[in-house]
Amino acid sequence: MGVWLDHSVAYLFDMSDSTTEALTVKADIKHHEGNENMRLDESMMQNKEQDQLSDYFKRLTEIIQKWDDVVLFGPTDAKTELLNFIHKNHHSVQTNMVVKQAGKMTENQMLAFVRLHFGIL
């Protein structure tokens, strides 16, 4: 399985069969524009955003844990944050995960990246 992700969306590529279509998982993170009253509750809003990010990572973990080998890649720290989240909260996950840096990519570039990583031509 290959997973390109940032903090807003993840594209998952199942390499166990000949399917080349990506599964898309979107984060439900809502960033709030602050007004005077909202600034007073900035800590509460940050906690809410953190809870939303945690939910996104939980949904990804449920999918990822079904595979033996997973490469996590993308342009932000989300891939490392997801790996840390899994190690901290889901000790039973036995998936071998590798983290690699990658930039913004088209879906075809993502698929090629995953194929190259797993040696699938």
Residue 58 pLDDT > 70? yes
Average pLDDT rounded to a whole number, residues 74-83:
96
- The predicted pLDDT at position 96 comes to 93
CA-based torsion, 35, 28, 73, 80: positive or negative: positive
How close are the terminal C-alpha atoms of the chain, in Å?
A: 15
Q: What is the mean pLDDT of residues 61-83?
A: 95
Question: How crowded is the C-beta side of 49, counted as CA atoms within 13 Å?
Answer: 12
Q: Report the predicted TM-score, pTM, of the whole model to 2 decimal places.
A: 0.84
One-letter amino acid for residue 57 of the chain: F
Measured at the CA of 8, the angle between CA 5 and CA 10, to 5 degrees, comes to 30
- Does pLDDT of 21 surpass 60? yes
- Check pLDDT > 70 for residue 43: no
User: What's the CATH code, domain 2-118?
Assistant: 3.30.420.60
Summarize the confidence of residues 27-48 as an average pLDDT: 63
Where do the structural domains in the chain lie, given as residue ranges? 2-118
